[in-house]
């Protein structure tokens, strides 16, 4: 079958909208007709060359659509299902899957960085040229092939535009507060960085019943946005007295939970300074894998717990339907995260907006 997709052919260059061919489905494949897909900073990092992937590649890892067809061995997904794509499909039987750490699934970690599906192959071509898959999803296209474990059925009441963003930024942020840290009711929470992930940490902490939610960012323009999503206080993360301000709001001890969602070495350093003794730090942001981050040794003392979370401790089959239910019940803000809706033809302008720091999430909608 032929379909249109946005293709990155060269780092730093605009994407091209090309006609691709999809190979026949393998036994565990699910073919999804994409209805909406989000533009994420991780996609932008590939375009800018800060995250290396083989080219040409179809980007996108936040997607929602309708199942068009399934492989011969697929049993949990059927044609006509509405699904959210998960960039963390898994084999279910490797060393890490057996440990319950599906985010580290060995076939995923072996093949995904090479632009391949879980079985080590690709399905897309352009005039015979192999196209690479991104995050085992490649949702910036009219159709996507994902493994069965990467297609999560959801309620058909859920609009596709808000459903798609659950697949990365929402799950990462809300999950970090509720699934990873298990924020306690009445506790003090600090969120450093008020982009898409940070805002979802804020509303995750609110859902958990946190007593005080302090948002920290270097941009004062994000105060109103953080407050809209549930922050009770806002501090300038770059202010010389930022630690005094945070401690003044937390009985002099520091926050019970600190979430780093800025992806900056100064934010990582602030996170361990601002958490109280025996408190928990959750690192969500990322910088270049070879970049050094310095800490004051004393800031690491006091039985503090520091954990890394890449996907909010997600179990997509459990958590995507839960997040959909929270939205449909009016407890989870998703519409407010979307600041632009565009057709596939305007995807380059969407990424330009993202690079300029405009808005929160841009969503590509398909007819």
Q: What is the pLDDT of residues 115-136, one digit of tens each?
A: 999 999 999 999 999 999 999 9
Residue 338 inside a domain? The answer is yes
In the predicted model, is pLDDT for residue 232 greater than 90?
Answer: yes
What is the mean predicted confidence (pLDDT) over 61-84? 97
Q: pTM here?
A: 0.94
Q: What is the pLDDT of residues 305-344, one digit of tens each?
A: 999 999 999 999 999 999 999 999 999 999 999 999 999 9
Listing DSSP states for 116-149 in one string gives --TTS---EEETTEEPEESTTT--SBSEEEEEGG
Listing DSSP states for 170-226 in one string gives IHHHHHIIIIIS-PPTT-EEEEE--SHHHHHHHHHHHHTT-SEEEEEES-GGGHHHH
Q: How far apart are CA 312 and CA 335, in angstroms?
A: 21
Instruction: Assess whether 139 and 51 both reside in one domain.
Output: yes
- DSSP symbol at 10: S
- Does residue 282 contact residue 276 with C-beta atoms inside 8 Å? no
Q: What is the pLDDT of residues 189-210, one digit of tens each?
A: 999 999 999 999 999 999 999 9
Residue 320 inside a domain? The answer is no
Instruction: Assess whether 141 and 46 both reside in one domain.
Output: yes
Q: Tell me how far the alpha carbon of residue 366 is from its chain's centroid.
A: 21
Phi, psi of 156 (to 5 degrees): -75, -5
Q: Residue 266 is part of a domain; what is its CATH number?
A: 3.40.50.720
Which residues, listed in sequence order, are joined to residue 29 by a DSSP beta bridge?
147
Structural domain boundaries, residue 238: 172-308
Residue 162 inside a domain? The answer is no
Share of the chain above pLDDT 70, in %: 100
- Does residue 1 contact residue 22 with C-beta atoms inside 8 Å? yes
Instruction: Assess whether 180 and 301 both reside in one domain.
Output: yes
Instruction: Assess whether 250 and 284 both reside in one domain.
Output: yes
In the predicted model, is pLDDT for residue 289 greater than 90?
Answer: no
Instruction: Assess whether 24 and 112 both reside in one domain.
Output: yes
Q: What is the pLDDT of residues 39-71, one digit of tens each?
A: 999 999 999 999 999 999 999 999 999 999 999
How high is the pLDDT of residue 238?
94
Residue 357 inside a domain? The answer is yes
Instruction: Assess whether 338 and 264 both reside in one domain.
Output: no
Instruction: Assess whether 141 and 228 both reside in one domain.
Output: no
In the predicted model, is pLDDT for residue 74 greater than 90?
Answer: yes
Structure tokens that stand for 129 in this block = 């040229």
Phi, psi of 355 (to 5 degrees): -65, -30
Q: What total number of domains does the chain contain? A: 2
Report the alpha-carbon angle 260-264-265, nearest 5. 100
Residue 149 inside a domain? The answer is yes
């Amino acid at each position: 079958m032929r379909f249109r997709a946005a293709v990155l052919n060269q780092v730093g260059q605009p994407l091209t909208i090309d006609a691709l061919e999809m190979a026949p489905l393998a036994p565990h494949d699910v073919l999804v007709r994409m209805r909406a897909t989000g533009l994420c900073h991780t996609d932008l990092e590939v375009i800018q060359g800060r995250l290396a992937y083989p080219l040409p590649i179809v980007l996108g890892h936040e997607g929602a659509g309708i199942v068009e067809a399934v492989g011969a061995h697929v049993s949990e997904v059927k044609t006509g299902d509405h699904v959210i794509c998960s960039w963390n499909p898994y084999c279910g039987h490797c060393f890490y899957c057996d440990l319950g750490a599906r985010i580290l699934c060995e076939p995923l970690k072996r093949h995904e960085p090479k632009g391949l599906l879980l079985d080590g192959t690709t399905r897309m071509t352009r005039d015979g040229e192999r196209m690479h898959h991104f995050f085992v999803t490649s949702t910036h296209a009219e159709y996507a092939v994902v493994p069965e474990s990467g297609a999560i059925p959801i309620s058909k009441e859920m609009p596709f535009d808000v459903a798609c963003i659950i697949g990365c930024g929402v799950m990462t942020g809300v999950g970090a507060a509720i699934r990873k840290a298990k924020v306690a009711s009445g506790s003090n929470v600090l969120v450093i960085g008020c982009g898409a992930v940070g805002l979802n940490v804020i509303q995750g902490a609110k859902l958990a019943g946190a007593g005080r939610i302090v948002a920290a960012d270097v941009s004062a323009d994000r105060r109103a946005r953080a407050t809209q999503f549930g922050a009770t206080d806002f501090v300038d993360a770059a202010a010389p007295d930022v630690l005094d301000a945070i401690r003044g709001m937390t009985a002099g001890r520091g926050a019970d939970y600190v979430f780093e969602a800025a992806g900056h070495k100064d934010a990582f350093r602030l996170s361990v300074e601002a958490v109280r003794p025996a408190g928990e730090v959750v690192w969500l942001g990322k910088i270049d894998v070879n970049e050094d981050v310095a800490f004051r040794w004393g800031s690491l003392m006091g039985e503090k717990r520091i954990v890394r979370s890449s996907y909010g401790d997600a179990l997509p089959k459990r958590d995507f339907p839960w997040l959909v239910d929270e939205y449909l019940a009016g407890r989870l803000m998703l519409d407010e995260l979307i600041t632009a809706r565009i057709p596939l033809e305007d995807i380059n302008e969407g990424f330009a907006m993202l690079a300029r720091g405009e808005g929160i999430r841009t969503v590509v909608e398909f007819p």
